[in-house]
C-alpha cells in the first residue's frame, strides 16, 4: 500500500502481535497509526512499541466534552464555523493575493529568528498596529458586563460575513458569561448552605461522643478549610482579589479539633464570643419520608421534622446524607470548571480559524477580552474545589487523602476486551444450542408422540420465563447503545453511581450468558426425558428446571462482589421499593422499573406455574393446574400486581407533588387493572357477556394508554411545535423514525385484542399464542423505554438540570421563620 513490498510482512506481524496481546486501538478519522518494532538481541522476546496519534477535529472533540444537559449553554462553535465558511468562499473569489498572504509565504524563506528579541518586539508592535476590531464593555441593568465588538475597517461587498462573525461571537461570549455567572452564584449559595450543615454535624458529633459535656464559649473558624498545601495559596488569592468568595459569603464554621482541645484544657470562656454547641438548639433533623417508618410517622404526626435525640444512629444517618451532598457538590464544581476551560479553548480555536480564513489579526485582542471576562478570570470555583477537598478529607475520610479523593473522584469504568470476547462466544454457543434443540426434537419426533408432546406443552412455561427476561435485557442493551449514540445521559437520569453503570456490552454479556445457561439446561432436560424414560435417573429429570431457577436466584442475590454486584443491588433495591409502594418516596428509577414489570405479566405467571409444578407435587399430572380455582384466582391477582404497584406510586406522587397529572396517570392504571381482570376472567370462563365487557374495557384502556404513551411519556403530538406533530427538540435526527414508532405503538397495543377476539392462527397452538403476544408487549416496552428517557433528558436540557437534588440532614428554625414571613 505504501509502495514498498517489505512493509506487508511487518504490517501483518504488527496485526498478529496486537491481537495476541489484546491491544485494542480505536482510530478516528483523520488519524495516523505509526507502529515501530524494536528487536532486542539480548532479550528472548519481542517487544512492541506502538505510537498512536489521534488527530480529531476540535468540533467533534468539543461536542464530546459537553455536559449533555448544558448543550445549549456552550459556545455555538459550529454556527461560527458556518459563518467563517462564507468568509472563506468570498476570499477564494479574490484573485490577487492579499499582503498578509504574501508576507506569510515569504516568512517561510526567512532564517530562524525565534531568539531575536528585537524581531519579536517588532512583530508584537506590528500585531497591535494591524488590529481590525475594538471591543467595548457595557454595563447592563444587572451590573453585568456586556461585550460589543466594532469592526474597524469599513466592510466591502462580501465582507459583511466578518461583521456577522463578530456579532455572533459577542452573543456567544455574553451567553457563556451569563450562564457561568449564574451557576457560580448557585454553587456559592450552596456552599454557604453546606457550611451551616457542617456546623450542625460537627456539633452533633461532639454531643454524641461527649453527652455530658459542659458548655463554654469557643471561637468559630473557617468551615471549608483546604489542605495544608493549598491553604496559603488560597488565602493569598483571597486578599489580592476584591470580588471573591469570602466577600460574598462569610464562613460560619468551626474546627472540631480546636473545640475538643478547648473542652479538654478548660479554656476560659471570656476569650471567645459564643458557644458552637448553641447551634443544636436551632436545628432539627429533616424527615425526608424516604422510608416506610418515616412515612407512617409523618401521616400520624403530621410533621416532617423531628428534634435531635443525640443518638449514634442519628449521627450516622446525618453523616451519610452530608457525605453524598459533598460528593455531588464536588462533581458540580468539576463540571463548572471543565465548562469554563472548554469554552475558553473554543474561543481560542475559532479565532485562530478566523485569522487563517480572513487573513486578519484579531485573536490576540479578542482573547484578551475573553480572558478578562468573568469566565476567564473568575476563580471562585477553584477556591471552592480546594476547600471542599480539604473539608471532605478531614471530616469524612479521617484525614486520609487517598481515601477521600477516591470517594470524591471515582474512577470511570473502562471497556474490557474480555467482555466483548465472551459476549460473542456466548452468542455463538446460544445459536448452536438452539440448532441442537431443534435437531433433537425433529430426530426423536417429540411433537408427534402424544406423551412427549404433552410434556413439552407443560414444561414450556418453566423455560419461557427466562426467554422473557433475556428478551427484555437485550432490548435494554440496545437502548443503552442508542442512548449513548444520541448523547442521552441515562446514568444521571436513573441515578447510577458514577463508574458503576453498565454498558451495552455488559448487559449483552449477561443476556447471552443466561441464554447459554437456559438453553443448555433445556437440552439436557429434553434429552433425559426423551431418551431416558426407563432410566434410573428418570425421577430426577423433573428437578432440572428447578435447579435452573435456584441457580438463577443464587446469581441474582449473590452477596459477593462478583457479577456486577452494584448493579444487582441497585435493581434489588428498586424492586423492593416498588413492592413497598407507596411507603417509599418514588424516584424515576422506581416507577421506570414498575412500568417494565407491567410488560412481564406472563413471566410472573410462569413463577406461579413453578409453584404449582413443584410446590403442590403435581408434576405427574401438570394439566390439573389450570383446573384449580385457587390457581385461577392467583392467575388473575398476579396479572394485576404490576399495575397496582404503579397505581400506588401515582397516589404517593400526587400527595407529595400536588400535581393533578399523577391523578390522571393513576386513573389510567386503574382502568388497565379493570381491563386485565375482565379479560382474564373471559379467558378462563368464556361467554358472550364477558367477551363484550372484555372488548369494551380493553379498547378504552388501549386508547387511554396509547395517547399517554405518545403525548405525555414521549412528549410528541405538540400543536405549536416547529416539527409538525412532534416536538421542538429531537434527539434522533431522522424525523420519520418518530412517526414509525407512533404507528408501531398503536399496532402493538391493538395486538392484545387477539386474546379477546380469538383469531384462528393455525401456526400457533396452546401457550404459543400468549407467549408471542407477551414477547411483542416486551418489544413495545423496549421501544417505549428509549423515547421515554429521551423526553426526560430533553426536559433536563431545557432546565439545564445536570445534577440530582440531594436531601440535607438538618433544617434551621430561623430559615423556617424566614420562609413563613416570605409566604405571608
- Count CB neighbours of 206 within 10 A: 18
H-helix or E-strand containing 193? Answer: helix 160-209
Q: What is the largest CA-CA distance in the chain?
A: 103
Q: Which residue has the cell 529568528?
A: 113
3-class secondary structure for 10-24? HHHHHHHHHHHHCCC
Of 648, 610, 561, nearest to 459 (Cα)? 610
How many whole angstroms separate alpha carbon 380 and alpha carbon 184?
7
**Which residues are CB-contacts of 624 (< 8 A; sequence separation ≥ 6)?**
618
Q: Higher-confidence residue: 793 or 119?
A: 793
- Is the model's pLDDT at 7 over the cut of 60? no
What Cα–Cα distance (Å) separates residue 306 from each residue in 206, 690, 813, 815? 20, 53, 12, 15
- Is the model's pLDDT at 762 over the cut of 80? no
How confident is the model at residue 242, as a pLDDT?
39
- pLDDT tens, position by position, 349-396: 998 988 888 888 888 888 888 898 889 888 889 999 999 999 999 988
pLDDT > 90 fraction of the chain, expressed in percent and rounded: 29
How many whole angstroms separate alpha carbon 330 and alpha carbon 190?
11
b/e burial code for range 40-52 (CB count within 10 A of at least 16 → b):
eeeeeeeebeeee
- Is the model's pLDDT at 245 over the cut of 90? no
How confident is the model at residue 574, as a pLDDT?
94
- Report the range out of 218-227, 416-425, 621-630 with the highest average pLDDT: 416-425
Of 682, 721, 718, 686, nearest to 698 (Cα)? 682
Cis peptide before 582 (omega within 30 of 0): yes
Query: Hey, is 241 helix, strand or coil?
Result: coil
How confident is the model at residue 165, as a pLDDT?
86
Instruction: Answer whether 351's CB lies under 8 Å from 198's CB.
Output: no
Q: Higher-confidence residue: 541 or 120?
A: 541
How many whole angstroms separate alpha carbon 254 and alpha carbon 28?
52
Cis peptide before 100 (omega within 30 of 0): no
b/e burial code for range 275-305 (CB count within 10 A of at least 16 → b):
bbbebbeebbbbbbbeeeebbebbeeeeeee
Cell numbers for 628: 384449580
Instruction: Answer whether 133's CB lies under 8 Å from 149's CB.
Output: yes
φ, ψ for residue 760 (rounded to 5)?
A: -85, 105
How many whole angstroms separate alpha carbon 785 and alpha carbon 377?
43
Instruction: Answer whether 169's CB lies under 8 Å from 366's CB.
Output: yes
How many whole angstroms separate alpha carbon 454 and alpha carbon 447?
9
How confident is the model at residue 253, as a pLDDT?
38
How many whole angstroms separate alpha carbon 496 and alpha carbon 509?
20
Query: Hey, is 354 helix, strand or coil?
Result: helix
CA of residue 298 relative to chain centroid, distance? 32
How confident is the model at residue 460, as a pLDDT?
81
- Is the model's pLDDT at 645 over the cut of 90? yes
- Is the model's pLDDT at 424 over the cut of 90? yes
- pLDDT tens, position by position, 470-482: 999 999 999 999 9
- pLDDT tens, position by position, 433-482: 999 998 988 887 777 766 666 677 777 888 999 999 999 999 999 999 99
Q: Higher-confidence residue: 513 or 245?
A: 513
Query: Hey, is 411 helix, strand or coil?
Result: coil
| Ramachandran quadrant class, 76 (left: phi over 0; alpha: psi -120 to 50; beta: rest) | beta
Q: Higher-confidence residue: 768 or 654?
A: 654
User: 123-127, 279-283, 548-552, 636-640: which has the minimum mean pLDDT?
Assistant: 123-127
**Which residues are CB-contacts of 185 (< 8 A; sequence separation ≥ 6)?**
none
- pLDDT tens, position by position, 26-83: 444 334 333 333 333 333 333 333 333 334 578 788 888 888 888 888 999 888 888 8
Dihedral in degrees, nearest 10, Cα atoms 491, 492, 496, 501: 20
- Count CB neighbours of 207 within 10 A: 16
- Count CB neighbours of 141 within 10 A: 6
Of 19, 27, 28, 8, nearest to 48 (Cα)? 19
Confidence of residue 296 (pLDDT cuts 50, 70, 90): low
φ, ψ for residue 448 (rounded to 5)?
A: -85, -25
| DSSP-derived secondary structure for 610-637 | HIIIIITS-TTSGGGGGG-HHHHHHHHH
How confident is the model at residue 743, as a pLDDT?
95
How many whole angstroms separate alpha carbon 204 and alpha carbon 322?
13
What Cα–Cα distance (Å) separates residue 360 from each residue in 122, 127, 150, 298? 17, 10, 14, 69
Number of helices (H), then strands (E), belonging to the chain: the values are 30, 7
**What does the radius of gyration of the chain's CA atoms come to, in whole angstroms?**
34
Q: Which residue has the cell 401456526?
A: 763
Confidence of residue 9 (pLDDT cuts 50, 70, 90): very low
Instruction: Answer whether 442's CB lies under 8 Å from 590's CB.
Output: no
Cell numbers for 249: 459569603
Q: What is the rounded end-to-end Cα distance, in angstroms, of the chain?
A: 80
Within 241-311, residue ranges assigned H as helices are: 245-248, 256-265, 292-301
Of 202, 475, 158, nearest to 319 (Cα)? 202
How confident is the model at residue 535, as a pLDDT?
57
Cα angle 279-285-288, degrees, rounded to a multiple of 5: 150
How many whole angstroms separate alpha carbon 455 and alpha carbon 620?
10
How confident is the model at residue 436, as a pLDDT?
93
User: Long-range contacts made by residues 4-9, C-beta under 8 angstroms, separation at least 24?
Assistant: none
φ, ψ for residue 722 (rounded to 5)?
A: -70, -20
Amino acid at each position: 500500500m505504501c509502495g514498498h513490498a517489505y512493509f506487508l510482512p511487518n504490517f501483518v506481524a504488527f496485526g498478529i502481535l496486537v491481537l495476541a496481546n489484546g491491544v485494542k486501538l480505536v482510530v478516528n478519522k483523520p488519524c495516523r497509526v505509526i507502529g515501530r518494532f524494536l528487536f532486542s538481541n539480548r532479550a528472548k522476546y519481542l517487544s512492541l512499541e506502538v505510537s498512536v496519534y489521534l488527530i480529531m477535529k476540535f468540533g467533534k472533540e468539543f461536542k464530546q466534552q459537553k455536559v449533555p444537559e448544558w448543550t445549549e449553554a456552550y459556545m455555538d462553535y459550529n454556527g461560527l464555523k458556518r459563518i467563517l465558511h462564507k468568509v472563506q468562499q468570498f476570499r477564494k473569489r479574490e484573485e490577487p493575493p492579499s499582503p498578509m498572504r504574501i508576507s506569510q509565504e515569504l516568512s517561510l524563506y526567512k532564517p530562524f529568528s525565534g531568539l531575536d528579541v528585537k524581531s519579536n518586539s517588532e512583530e508584537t508592535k506590528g500585531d497591535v498596529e494591524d488590529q481590525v476590531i475594538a471591543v467595548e464593555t457595557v454595563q447592563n441593568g444587572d451590573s453585568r458586563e456586556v461585550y460589543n465588538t466594532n469592526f474597524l475597517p469599513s466592510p466591502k461587498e462580501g465582507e459583511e460575513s466578518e461583521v456577522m462573525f463578530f456579532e455572533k461571537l459577542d452573543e456567544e461570549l455574553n451567553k457563556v458569561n451569563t450562564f457561568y455567572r449564574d451557576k457560580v452564584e448557585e454553587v456559592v449559595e450552596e456552599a454557604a448552605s453546606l457550611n451551616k450543615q457542617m456546623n450542625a454535624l460537627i456539633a452533633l458529633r461532639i454531643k454524641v461522643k461527649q453527652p455530658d459535656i459542659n458548655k463554654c464559649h469557643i471561637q468559630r473558624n473557617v468551615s471549608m478549610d483546604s489542605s495544608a498545601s493549598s491553604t496559603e495559596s488560597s488565602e493569598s488569592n483571597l486578599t489580592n482579589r476584591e470580588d471573591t468568595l469570602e466577600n460574598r459569603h462569610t464562613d460560619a464554621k468551626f474546627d472540631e479539633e480546636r473545640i475538643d482541645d478547648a473542652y479538654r484544657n478548660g479554656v476560659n470562656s471570656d476569650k471567645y464570643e459564643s458557644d458552637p454547641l448553641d447551634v443544636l438548639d436551632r436545628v432539627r433533623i429533616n424527615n425526608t419520608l424516604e422510608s416506610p417508618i418515616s412515612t407512617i410517622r409523618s401521616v400520624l404526626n403530621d410533621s416532617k421534622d423531628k428534634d435531635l435525640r443525640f443518638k449514634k444512629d442519628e449521627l450516622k444517618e446525618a453523616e451519610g446524607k452530608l457525605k453524598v451532598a459533598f460528593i455531588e457538590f464536588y462533581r458540580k464544581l468539576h463540571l463548572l470548571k471543565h465548562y469554563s476551560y472548554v469554552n475558553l479553548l473554543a474561543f481560542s480555536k475559532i479565532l485562530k480559524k478566523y485569522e487563517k480564513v480572513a487573513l486578519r489579526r484579531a485573536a490576540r485582542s479578542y482573547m484578551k477580552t475573553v480572558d478578562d471576562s468573568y469566565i476567564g478570570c473568575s476563580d471562585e470555583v477553584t477556591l471552592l474545589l480546594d476547600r471542599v477537598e480539604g473539608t471532605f478529607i478531614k471530616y469524612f475520610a479521617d484525614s486520609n487523602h487517598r481515601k477521600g479523593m477516591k470517594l470524591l473522584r471515582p474512577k470511570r469504568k473502562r471497556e474490557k476486551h474480555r467482555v466483548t470476547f465472551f459476549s460473542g462466544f456466548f452468542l455463538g454457543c446460544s445459536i448452536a444450542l438452539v440448532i441442537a434443540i431443534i435437531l433433537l426434537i425433529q430426530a426423536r419426533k417429540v411433537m408427534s408422540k402424544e406423551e412427549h408432546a404433552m410434556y413439552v406443552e407443560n414444561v414450556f412455561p418453566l423455560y419461557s420465563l427466562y426467554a422473557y427476561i433475556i428478551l427484555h435485557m437485550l432490548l435494554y442493551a440496545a437502548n443503552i447503545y442508542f442512548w449513548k449514540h444520541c448523547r442521552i445521559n441515562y446514568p444521571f437520569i436513573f441515578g447510577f453511581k458514577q463508574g458503576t453503570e453498565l454498558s451495552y456490552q455488559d448487559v449483552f454479556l449477561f443476556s447471552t450468558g443466561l441464554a447459554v445457561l437456559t438453553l443448555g439446561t433445556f437440552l439436557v432436560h429434553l434429552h433425559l426425558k426423551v431418551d431416558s424414560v426407563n432410566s434410573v435417573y428418570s425421577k430426577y429429570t423433573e428437578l432440572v428446571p428447578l435447579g435452573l431457577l435456584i441457580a438463577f436466584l443464587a446469581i441474582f442475590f449473590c452477596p459477593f462482589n462478583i457479577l456486577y454486584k452494584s448493579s444487582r443491588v441497585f435493581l434489588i433495591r428498586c424492586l423492593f421499593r416498588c413492592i413497598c409502594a407507596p411507603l417509599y418516596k418514588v424516584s424515576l428509577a422506581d416507577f421506570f422499573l414498575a412500568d417494565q414489570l407491567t410488560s412481564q405479566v406472563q413471566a410472573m405467571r410462569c413463577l406461579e406455574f413453578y409453584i404449582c409444578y413443584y410446590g403442590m407435587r403435581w408434576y405427574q399430572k401438570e394439566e390439573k393446574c389450570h383446573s384449580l380455582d385457587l390457581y385461577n384466582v392467583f392467575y388473575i391477582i398476579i396479572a394485576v400486581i404490576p399495575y397496582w404497584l404503579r397505581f400506588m406510586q401515582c397516589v404517593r406522587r400526587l400527595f407529595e407533588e400536588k400535581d393533578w397529572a399523577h391523578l390522571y396517570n393513576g386513573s389510567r392504571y386503574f382502568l388497565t387493572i379493570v381491563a386485565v381482570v375482565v379479560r382474564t376472567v373471559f379467558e378462563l370462563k368464556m361467554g358472550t357477556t364477558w367477551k363484550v365487557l372484555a372488548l369494551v374495557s380493553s379498547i378504552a384502556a388501549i386508547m387511554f394508554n396509547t395517547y399517554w404513551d405518545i403525548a405525555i411519556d414521549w412528549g410528541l403530538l405538540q400543536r405549536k411545535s416547529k416539527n409538525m406533530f412532534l416536538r421542538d427538540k429531537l434527539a434522533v435526527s431522522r424525523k420519520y423514525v418518530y412517526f414509525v414508532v407512533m404507528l408501531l405503538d398503536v399496532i402493538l397495543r391493538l395486538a392484545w385484542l387477539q386474546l379477546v377476539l380469538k383469531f384462528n392462527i393455525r401456526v400457533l397452538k396452546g401457550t404459543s399464542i400468549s407467549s408471542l403476544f407477551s414477547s411483542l408487549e416486551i418489544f413495545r416496552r423496549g421501544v417505549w423505554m428509549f423515547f421515554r428517557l429521551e423526553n426526560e433528558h430533553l426536559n433536563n436540557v431545557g432546565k439545564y438540570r445536570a445534577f440530582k437534588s440531594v436531601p440535607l440532614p438538618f433544617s434551621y428554625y430561623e430559615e423556617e421563620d424566614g420562609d413563613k414571613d416570605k409566604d405571608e
